């Protein structure tokens, strides 16, 4: 059985894992400059092609929303991304569970807060040392978060080792 862990940001990622928590693949969130005023946005067709190719049976995604500091364009873009994720998964017949950041970070042993984003890389490298290269760069923290969101979902269901 294949499951997905999704970090929904424009710099986010899609992690493909087995139902026991083994990391199979990580794909960066597919974006193009096709948003409002040529801004970068998640491309629905490319996202759908990734989702359908995985033949996933379940997906776990970080539950996020606009923050008070977001401008209107940023908040709208964020809502558009969430809609694309939910719509594509629904069309593909992949059940989705949203997990709040404090919940999945607690499962992964990461302290809450943006200042701890790099901790996700350390945890991911420890969990999957043979695939450490996937998390080697500082910008790979979103890849690590996607993979750990998937593991947190599996832990909720009692299907992965802590």
Angle at 144 between CA 2 and CA 66, to 5 degrees: 95
Fold classification of 2-156 (topology level): Nucleotidyltransferase; domain 5 (3.30.420)
Sign of CA dihedral 102, 148, 85, 36: positive
Q: What is the pLDDT of residues 107-136, one digit of tens each?
A: 988 987 777 778 999 999 999 999 999 999
What digits encode the pLDDT tens for the residues 8-56? 989 999 999 999 999 999 999 999 997 667 788 899 999 999 999 999 9
Tell me the backbone φ, ψ of residue 60, rounded to 5 degrees: -125, 130
Strand 96-99 and strand 58-62: pairing? parallel
């Amino acid at each position: 059985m294949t499951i997905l862990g999704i970090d929904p940001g424009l710099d986010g990622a899609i992690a493909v894992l087995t139902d026991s928590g083994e990391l199979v693949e990580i794909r960066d969130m597919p974006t193009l400059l096709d948003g409002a005023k040529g801004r970068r946005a998640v491309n629905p067709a490319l996202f759908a092609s990734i989702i359908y190719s995985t033949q996933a049976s379940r997906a776990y995604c970080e539950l996020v929303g606009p923050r008070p500091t977001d401008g209107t364009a940023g908040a709208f873009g964020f809502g558009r991304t969430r809609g694309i994720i939910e719509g594509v998964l629904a069309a593909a017949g992949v059940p989705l569970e949203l997990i709040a950041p404090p919940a999945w970070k607690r499962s992964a042993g990461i302290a809450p807060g943006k200042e701890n984003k790099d901790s996700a890389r350390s945890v991911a490298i420890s969990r999957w040392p043979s695939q450490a290269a996937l998390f080697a760069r500082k910008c790979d923290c979103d890849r690590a978060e996607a993979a750990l969101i998937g593991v947190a979902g599996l832990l909720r269901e009692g299907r992965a080792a802590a």
